[in-house]
Structure 1
Amino acid sequence: MELRELKINSINIENFKNVRQGEVDLIYKEKPLNIVGIYGQNGSGKTTVIEAINVISKLIDSENLTDDIFDMLELDTDAQAKAVFTINEKYIITYTVKLVKRLEISEGELGSKALKTVIDILSESLTTKIIRKDIQPKTVTVVSFEKETGEFLPKYRFPATKLNQNKFKTVIKNSKEQSKSIIFGESIKELINESNNIDKELKDVYNLITSELKDNIFVYSNRMSGLINTNMDFPIPLYFYYELPDRNQAFGVFPLPTKSSAKLSSKELNVAKHVLEQINIVIPKIIPKLSINIKELSKQLDDDGEELHVVEVVSEREGRVIPFRSESDGIKKIVSILSALINAYSSPRAIVAIDELDSGIYEFLLGELLEVFSRGARGQIIFTSHNLRPLEILDKENIIFTTVNPENRYTRKTDIKPSNNLRDVYLRNIQVLEGEDSLYKPTNTFEIQKAFRKARRMNFESESYTKGEL
């Protein structure tokens, strides 16, 4: 089975960061939207949506959950994330995971003990609804796991034989030690593919999800932005997609090196040149006369006799060449997301989730980019922003607002006439505060000024106290 189209229908979040409950609905007129912006004040749950997509993609790919994801969860509180996808306009896939973060006593050297933070997966499930014209759609559970019983369901597909129970114990243990998914672990993957109780279509759907979803979901978080801007050795991930002469497709992620020099194989160099060739078609239209290129410094052989190219990534503008690592944070941001945006513009199976798309990007340029994407993107772009310019560009159905209610964090404004300016409506809504689902928690200019004065007095008192001590 080939992945031809991939879209997210909705994201449901419970007890992630400051979101007690919230659902981001990306469907309009029964079809997934190709571009969605999420708006709201600081700390209202915008970034949590992007991070939840990242958590889900990592679990599906059987990757380790990292410490920054641990920080999203409250200790000893159950958290849940659910994503609904549409694949090939034929399958509706729902993946649900329930997690809990807790402290565990671990033994170190010489019998010493230490507290360790761990994440337990309390339950996971993968279901699919097959959409066919000739039959009524029916939701089918492919596989699910419940920690309370230690069972994998449906039972007739995962019988509790002695051999299976040993496999179950191993995958649950590995999940706990490495903070990985249980139902996407290698042992369960083998069980599903070897089972006579699962039809070929369900196996194909499961294998498609495990093999291709992660390569087609690009998440650009604030953490990644910080690493790129502060660490000169941190490679920039370039997401690429292109058609080959034999009609096959090439896609994936290429880490573009940013340090003074790097070693690339001939294949890696060709991929990098192709991606930069794509970027260099677009970037001069965004940043006049700029191009990003790879400068080959030398060649050498590795231990296996393979030829390696020693290269450096450079920026060129009006004949002036500088190392790319010396560029401004804004240009690094644009280049780092541009390959993903080109991918989403070109490929109907690409999903791009970007936190603070407006950061480092000129306001007018941001509007022009979103206008282009709204008209022609074949993939899906989900972004957060503080800049209000996109509210003047995108239609009302393409905008999700956060609310001040932690039990219902996300909403879409439906009571807007076509003649209304969405930006003006939003500004009126945050000024006219009504009910617990209002869009803005009010701040008071007088109270802010009073707080600054109080802080200033503390500073003077501290200075006087220090001088007295001296």
Structure 2
Amino acid sequence: MKDVVVRIAGIEIVNIKNVSYGKIELQGNQLAVDSEMKADILGIYGQNGSGKTAVIEILEFLKKLMSGNFLPPEIQDYITKDSNEAECKFSFWIKHKKEAFNCDYSFKIKHFEKSTYITKEKLSYKNCTGEDKKVNLEYRVENEEYLFTPQYRFNEFIQNDQARRIDVAVAKKLAMKECRSFFFSDEVIKLSETSDIPDLSKILMSLKDYAFKNIFIIKNIHCGVINLNLAMPFSFKQKNAEKDVFGDLAVSLMEPSVFPQKEFDLLTEIVSSINLVVKALIPDMALVIHNYGKQMTAEGDEGIRFEMLSQRNDQLIPLKYESEGIKKILSVLNMLIAVYNLPGICVAIDELDAGVYEYLLGELLEVLEKSGKGQLIFTSHNLRPLEMIHKSSLVFTTTNDKNRYIRFSNVKSNNNMRDVYLRSINLGGQSEEIYAATSDFEISRAFRKAGRLVND
């Protein structure tokens, strides 16, 4: 949708993995109608297994549901073991031409016997540029007569039309069967276009389009295929005169690849944009596509056989022999270009620092925060970014599973956040404990005991 920008303003997690409760408010500017939007960077820090990756994963759930897709069967494994249901809540700012909305969307998933399904969804929104009242809609599986409440809103949606009521009932059954969203189903969105609920169609279409085209999730499996030298996945978003082009292209590192002409041309465009930035990040380096000529694809279509090479000055080597850090940067670089230039994009990257030189990582994030326009959410173990980005762009995990995410308090403007973080680990001083203390003596003792067990 043109002239629409959506930004995530807040995230809440209930009973996902080891997070009993956690809340994060993003610090990016609200979408005032006439203001220029700036980058919104969020770095999540904490010890291993403390809930960092959970944030990335629920954003993936959000993308699937708002795109109209189903949640995978393994979703049940994400629910905290001592509970049979979990809930995720999100807040958004939506800029729609000359209007601005704040919007909340939440969903609850429940595992019962052998099935997992969405038992509840809530959607609420308000036009911030008008005097309209806030619209609140709530869908519950157990509601039979009124598939969502309040009753008068359901009546505005149905319009006393039996055919519309049947279509909504069908949407409910499909949502339950396939673990999909009720509100973002094709049936409900189509009916919303002719309903009497103000702005409903506008909100649903804006969020669905945003999820499908502008939320990008890069998980550790993305790095896994790189580390194993199997393939090089390029995540990308390209804008051209006709439409947005986005997704992933996986190029083999084991042997030359064969792409259809259209995909090869797209890869050429992606590599061209990446090379413009690579020169500034890694002097004297460029990506090269070595074209071996035409060859039939596995599907029997005409394609291009090629290999990805790394060029340093006049030397060419296969890309698979480059360092893991450089390959990681190259694989996400088009996404970072999008974050720099596009206000409506949200890129979430798990372990952004994996294999990346810490000084370069800090420089990248500083440039994106100062001059970018989109949203970047990342997890990291490297502490260099703590010295480079503003304290409002940082969230830290705690040892309290009922208050999993905090921002540091009592931090002065001239404090080095890296020093503050390390001091807080060793001495405390924050509202929650942020590190489960370890003992050198206990670690050494455990190693000795394990050694005796092995020798015996």
Q: TM-score, normalised by structure 2?
A: 0.87
Identity of aligned residues (%): 34
Which residue of the partner structure matches residue 308 of structure 1?
303
The whole-number CA distance in structure 2 between the counterparts of 1:333 and 1:51 is 20
Say which of 223, 227, 230 aligns to 2:228. 230
Q: Quickly say closer, same or farther: Cα 1:183–1:237, change in 2 above 3 A.
A: farther
Matches within 5 A, 1:254-403: 254-258=248-252, 260-299=255-294, 307-403=302-398
Deviations 1:114-138 (A, max 9, x none): xxxx321011122222111xx4464
SS in 2 for 1:213: helix
Q: Quickly say closer, same or farther: Cα 1:457–1:53, change in 2 above 3 A.
A: same
Which residue of the partner structure matches residue 80 of structure 1?
87
The whole-number CA distance in structure 2 between the counterparts of 1:18 and 1:214 is 28
Q: Quickly say closer, same or farther: Cα 1:230–1:181, change in 2 above 3 A.
A: farther
Deviations 1:339-364 (A, max 9, x none): 10011001111111111111110111
Instruction: Kindly tell me the number of residue pairs found equivalent between the two proteins.
Output: 439
Q: Give the drift of 1:275.
A: 1.3
Which residue of the partner structure matches residue 42 of structure 2?
36
- Whether the aligned pair in 1 keeps the contact of 2:235 and 2:249 (CA below 8 Å) is yes
Q: Does 1:218 align with 2:227?
A: no
The whole-number CA distance in structure 2 between the counterparts of 1:68 and 1:294 is 38
Q: Give the drift of 1:388.
A: 1.1
SS in 1 for 2:69: coil
Deviates more, 1:74-83 or 1:215-224: 74-83
The whole-number CA distance in structure 1 between the counterparts of 2:320 and 2:192 is 46
Deviations 1:319-375 (A, max 9, x none): 343443454332221111111001100111111111111111011111111111111
Q: Give the drift of 1:307.
A: 4.9
Say which of 23, 26, 51 aligns to 1:45. 51
Amino acid paired to 1:38 = I
SS in 2 for 1:64: coil
Deviates more, 1:157-166 or 1:10-19: 157-166
Q: Give the drift of 1:94.
A: 1.6
The whole-number CA distance in structure 2 between the counterparts of 1:304 and 1:225 is 28
- Whether the aligned pair in 2 keeps the contact of 1:405 and 1:436 (CA below 8 Å) is no
- Whether the aligned pair in 2 keeps the contact of 1:266 and 1:307 (CA below 8 Å) is yes
The whole-number CA distance in structure 2 between the counterparts of 1:426 and 1:33 is 24
The whole-number CA distance in structure 1 between the counterparts of 2:382 and 2:312 is 28
The whole-number CA distance in structure 2 between the counterparts of 1:317 and 1:308 is 28
Q: Does 1:152 align with 2:148?
A: yes
The whole-number CA distance in structure 2 between the counterparts of 1:292 and 1:165 is 56
Q: Quickly say closer, same or farther: Cα 1:326–1:191, change in 2 above 3 A.
A: farther
- Whether the aligned pair in 1 keeps the contact of 2:408 and 2:430 (CA below 8 Å) is no
- Whether the aligned pair in 2 keeps the contact of 1:2 and 1:208 (CA below 8 Å) is no
Q: Give the drift of 1:209.
A: 1.9
Q: Quickly say closer, same or farther: Cα 1:227–1:85, change in 2 above 3 A.
A: farther
Which residue of the partner structure matches residue 110 of structure 1?
none
Q: TM-score, normalised by structure 1?
A: 0.85
Which residue of the partner structure matches residue 420 of structure 1?
415
- Whether the aligned pair in 2 keeps the contact of 1:3 and 1:208 (CA below 8 Å) is no
- Whether the aligned pair in 2 keeps the contact of 1:254 and 1:272 (CA below 8 Å) is no
Q: Give the drift of 1:237.
A: 3.9
Amino acid paired to 1:60 = M
- Whether the aligned pair in 2 keeps the contact of 1:27 and 1:33 (CA below 8 Å) is no
SS in 2 for 1:430: helix
Q: Give the drift of 1:27.
A: 2.6
Q: Quickly say closer, same or farther: Cα 1:169–1:426, change in 2 above 3 A.
A: same
- Whether the aligned pair in 1 keeps the contact of 2:44 and 2:52 (CA below 8 Å) is yes
Amino acid paired to 1:54 = E
Structure 2 residues without counterparts, runs of 5 or longer: 32-37
- Whether the aligned pair in 1 keeps the contact of 2:335 and 2:347 (CA below 8 Å) is yes
Q: Does 1:454 align with 2:449?
A: yes
